[in-house]
Chains A and B, each alone.
Chain A
Amino acid sequence: MESSIKSSKIDLDIYNLIEKMRKGDRRAVARLITKVENGGPEVSKQIIKEIYPETGKSFIIGITGSPGSGKSTLTNQIASEYLKKGLKISIIAVDPTSPFSGGALLGDRIRMKSNFTNKNLFIRSMANRGKLGGLAMATKEAIHIFDAYGSDIIIVETVGVGQSEIDIFKSAHTTLVIMPPGMGDEIQAIKAGITEITDIFVVNKMDRNEADKRVNELETMLDIAENIVVDQKNHNIRIIKSNKWRPPVIKTNAISGENVPELIELIESHREFSKTTGLKNKKLAYRYKHYVVDIIQYFQNKDIERLIFSNPKINEFIDQILSYKTGSDPYSISEMILELFSKRYFS
């Protein structure tokens, strides 16, 4: 049986785009991202296989937080600071797709107007197209494309999130969680979810009265979390919880830019920390483990569907289900099919 992951070589069209990107052609970069958005894993695999050796160089900053907390405005400020240093910056800004119409209104660019024509900056808006977790299906691939394009920094801004959209953590080296003042209390803060994946807390809109209260709540939450001894055998917890890094809490004003240079310093110190302590590689291993599982699941599913539906024997199994007898329920039948499958009965 030939797995669908191995079939098909690279399209000439895609190869030409990659060659143009290598020469710095921005339209080719944009078109490659469109290709991964529309083409799914079949197209992504051609692109990633070709460009992968050119990736791994960008520093990836994740920005997440609730809707209206100032993510886009702050993203633009952070980008401006890095642009001043002469660095090449790419931004991926994800906004939600309407579950009803399938359309999306992507408005993050509006907050980034001041830098539109800077040739060192590339902003790409992306609809999440129904993907849960805060990012779009194609975000990972877009990150790799921007990486190969030679971006020094890639900033990924998630959709406005609630409490458990944590996909950004699998993609970013340093994750910022933006919290506006005046929302919720300390119980909200210790509930976990996005607070567990935070490397730096940003309390934006610092000109508002309740900003200091918010900072206190977060510090209290961090005090509590710090004194809890975690099960060191749990690999997942060890990745999110490094007892040498207590996430700093900083207040900012994304509109005026107040405290943004200080925020950049914190980002840079976390970047250094991750590198020297090996946290960066641990995170990368975690990221690629999930990436590989996603890819295998996708192609495995396609293989399974192809093999099962093309095999006439499936009808006999379905007929059994319709008899409504003990042992003919969909779970039992699936177990039987899986068993046969593992024996390569269908191959």
Chain B
Amino acid sequence: MEKNIRCIVAKPGLDGHDRGAKVISRGLRDAGLEVIYTGLHQTADDIVESVVQEDPDVLLLSILSGAHTILFPEIMKKFKEEGINDVLILGGGIIPDEDIAKMKEVGISEIFGPGTKIQEIVDYIKSHLKR
């Protein structure tokens, strides 16, 4: 039997647009993954605490507000402080190309922008799980 992959889909910050996050959640579900959607307006602490409790294999952060340059590093810092290093962390939403390298530097494994096929994300997850 294939391992059940658990994911959290989270919306950090004040961004109120979660249609994309819902599409991703539903798409991953249809691909056979277990998806925990935590809703809008999550602080870095909310997200880290959800990861601690739910013990997911993957965390998908969706952001369209432009605050990723602040929020992604903050979230990653908190993961480091908690000693969490076996969760695959992905980003999505509106992330300008010139920011992608910076996001990867702080530990986001990959960024998926608009137009990404769900299957692409699923394949990426399955081949990059950290445990």
Contacts and interface: CB of A to CB of B under 8 A. Distances in A.
Interface string B17-44: 0000000011011111111111101110
Contact of B84 (A27, A37, A103, A123): A27
Contact of A101 (B31, B38, B41, B45): B31
B3 interface: yes
B39 A27 contact: no
Contacts of A30: 52-55
Nearest to B27: A103
Given A101-B31, A106-B35, A116 B46 contact: yes
Given A116-B49, A117-B49, A129-B4, A103 B28 contact: yes
Given A26-B53, A101-B29, A106 B34 contact: yes
Interface residues of A, number: 28
Contacts of B6: 34
Interface string A265-297: 000000000000000000000000000000000
A117 B45 CA distance: 7
Contacts of A38: 3-4
Contact of A103 (B3, B29, B49): B29
B35 A113 contact: no
- Centre residue among B3, B32, B36, B54 by max chain A CB count within 10 A: B36
B35 A104 contact: yes
Contacts of B42: 113, 116
Given A37-B4, A116-B50, A103 B45 contact: no
A68 interface: no
Contact of B30 (A33, A103, A106, A116): A103
Contacts of A109: 36-39, 50, 54
Contacts of B41: 113
A340 interface: no
B57 to A, nearest CB: 9
Given A27-B55, A117-B46, A98 B30 contact: yes
Interface of A: 26-27, 30-31, 33-34, 37-38, 97-98, 101-107, 109-110, 113, 116-117, 122-125, 127, 129
